[in-house]
Amino acid sequence: MDVAIIFGSASDKEKMAGAAKCLDEFGLEYKAYIASAHRVPELLEQILKEAVDSGAKAIIAGAGLAAHLPGVIASKVTIPVIGVPLDAALGGQDALYSIVQMPKGIPVSTVGINNSYNAAMTAVQIIGTSNEKVAAQLKEYRANMKQKFTADPVSF
């Protein structure tokens, strides 16, 4: 697989769908898993081994509340971990602070609250640094985005 997507609970699934959508747009291979760092730490270990052994270039990890999942994953792998703070309470600010404030040497690259699409976009960009096809797709994506804007004034 190119990317592993892991989130802490079945209740996170809808918020993490943006990651799958983005990876589908770029035709990248991924597997998604539900594994809580607190509830099933042994299962998480097993999933991480599978992801690393199958050559994943990044892991996207989403969690809410005391969101330790991305940080725990980052402590166990050396591939980039992209954290998605999820709004399960307090507008997701509890999860944002839990995920973003990592100790020096063990980073989690953190995106905005519930922004799993951007987490996958970061993974695509990581893959694009060593994959010409993906790099070309990223250029096309940006060109298409620009075409949606014009200098014409907007009327109401």
Which span sits near ligand RP5 by CB under 6 A: 22-30, 59-67, 124-132, 140-148?
Answer: 59-67
Smallest separation, CB 62 to ligand RP5 (Å)? 7
Beta partners for residue 61, in sequence order? 6, 83
142 is an annotated ligand-binding site residue: no
The reply on whether position 8 binds ligand RP5 by CB under 6 A is yes
Check: CB of residue 27 under 8 Å from CB of residue 20: no
Separation of alpha carbons 120 and 15, rounded Å: 13
d(CA 116, CA 27): 17
- Smallest separation, CB 11 to ligand RP5 (Å): 3
**Which x/- pattern, by CB under 6 A, does the window 18-47 give for ligand RP5?**
------------------x-----------
- Number of residues in contact with ligand RP5 under rule CB under 6 A: 11
Q: Answer yes or no: are the C-beta atoms of 29 and 19 closer than 8 Å.
A: no
Fill in the per-residue mask, 84 to 123: x = in contact with ligand RP5 (CB under 6 A), - = not in contact.
--x-x-----------------------------------
Binding site for ligand RP5 (CB under 6 A): 7-9, 11-12, 36, 63-65, 86, 88
Residue positions forming the annotated binding site for substrate: 9, 12, 39
